[in-house]
Structure 1
């Protein structure tokens, strides 16, 4: 259940049933061992298209959501520097790291971040910088970012994150209360921010502080 064949089945399903078309995204998901990002007891379910618990009341997103968010982020142009809010297991970050030059990721829960860092080292992903902090604040020292991806849902978009987005940048984030969340893509337009709805999603809430 953790073999290349299992990954191939997962990716084929994302392409045929899920409608994921970007070959770059599909190739990364086909090569990245998702089972390394979850508890060993759940490894047999690693390549199901479902979210799974990772502890601390958090989850690893289902592969379709990871693929859709990544595809949306790079659809118009491939960013060089990406800020991720909510490292979690590290899976989404690892996907991004194989597509862009540099990923900056912020996680508020120290235990999750330490586990993710170990996985990054094991996979030899040396283009990731990580920080234990309140993700709602972003990482202003390294702003502006070509793209920002948020992996938890706030009631609204965080102004601090929009402020750290480059003029031609793109932000992808779930927004809304539980049961009514929408995945949004935000880009700058001639008269301000342009919001594009990409579909209904279900994410853990975007919380402040650190733990």
Structure 2
């Protein structure tokens, strides 16, 4: 018998399937996941793909010849965006004013460390033609069991939650954060004594 859940991919002792809430979103999320993130026990992209009926994860680093992604990007009648901060990116809430969500909207997310996400951005030049979105810089991440480069660095599921909440203001996506918090709590409970306190509470 495998040590890992066939659905969420995590070890059975920290399986998150029981805390996943099925959610509907009008905005479609396509998560481009760096291969090093696929089997990380603390990865969060899986929460998005399990929860949202309108999302999928594609694994890789170089998607320039990826048939699935390029077919999606070539679909007519869809407004495509990429969540990536840049000098020309717009805040995600502005998409509502631009489309009123009367047109299908699809957003590409990059799932990886900041360094790896930057490399993916550089490689996948087809994304550069898409309007870029960013989230407010004052948002605070709560990824307590993974060291972040700054306080406003968000996990993929937190980024997805804030993105969807800004673009679909009447919908409740809080179960994404609930699953995220419960995943973190389960991981902490299974850490050897003192590891969390030593490695994550004293970050200064």
TM-score relative to the length of structure 1: 0.30
- Greater strand content: 1
Larger-Rg structure: 2
TM-score relative to the length of structure 2: 0.31
The higher relative CO (CA closer than 8 Å, separation ≥ 6) is in 2
